[in-house]
Amino acid sequence: MPSVFRFAGLAAALLLAGCQQVNTTSGGVVGVERKQNMFSMLSSAQVDQMYAQSYQQTLGEASKAGKLDASSSDARRVKAIAARLIPQTGTFRPDAPSWQWEVNVIKSDELNANCGPGGKIIVYTGLIDQLKLTDDELAAVMGHEIAHALREHGREAMSRAYAVQMGENLGGALLGLGKDSMQLADQVVQYSLTLPNSRQNENEADLIGLELAARAGYNPNAALTLWQKMSQAGGNAPPEILSTHPADSTRMANLQAAIPKVMPLYEQAKAR
């Protein structure tokens, strides 16, 4: 077996040896049940703390530049939708509604939104205004981002990165790989450990986000029009939110298949 492939196998073995298998969320009606490999020395609290520091830095920079938006109609809409979505997170994680949630809007043409570890949400006005999002569509994208936090996809990615780094440090020493081989090994490890999970994580966020929005009383069909708008925006330069996970026929098919599962939740929420 070529040494480069032994190196990829070594990194994978290190990932498994240093990780524990967990399922961060309940499955919900959409049935997200995959167990995740988390680096045992990297706790949720540590990741939350690291991200909270970065989040505050981002807010500080936006505030200094006069771009932190606390009172516009966009900001009011985002905060109102978050107030309906956050209580629904308990369906997937009983601890989540009591997280130290923060919801902020930044004035920017950027077509982006995110929810980092521990419930730190940022929505950029460009996403709302340029795509002319309805409340249902805005709930779909916010639910999607919240789902990433619930599933701790950030911690999962960091766990994979630890394995890659460990594999590089140890594998290079053990196998005596030259510079070119190490670069090739990097690519193999990235493809074998990191990239295959990206679309899987996106699919999980799509499904959980769909259910969160439905439970909060937002029409789940809006997820389809949201991602259609996303995929059409920017022509050959897709929005940053789609830079590594473009909307495609598979995403739309998965959403369409899941909508009948969550539609009764939406109807129940609307009836309350």
Segment holding 104, helix H or strand E? strand 102-106
**Antiparallel, parallel or unpaired: β 19-22 and 68-69:** unpaired
Q: CA–CA distance from 125 to each of 46, 70, 203, 230, 250 (Å)?
A: 30, 12, 25, 14, 28
Instruction: Select which of 102, 110, 145, 240 is catalytic.
Output: 145
Q: Which residues contact 215 (CB under 8 A, 6 or more apart)?
A: 88, 91, 262, 265, 266, 269
Task: Report the candidate in 32, 31, 26 with the shortest Cα–Cα distance to residue 88.
Answer: 26
Give the helix ranges, DSSP H, for 92-219: 125-130, 135-150, 153-175, 179-189, 195-215
What is the SS3 assignment for 194?
Answer: helix
Question: Are the C-beta atoms of residues 62 and 68 closer than 8 Å to each other?
Answer: yes
CB crowding 110-137: b at 16 or more within 10 Å, else e: bbbbbbbbbbbbbbbbbbbebbebbbbb
Does residue 202 have an active-site annotation?
no
* DSSP β-bridge partners for residue 69: 105
How many Cβ atoms from other residues are within 10 Å of residue 227's Cβ? 22
Q: What is the largest CA-CA distance in the chain?
A: 66
**Active site amino acids:** 145
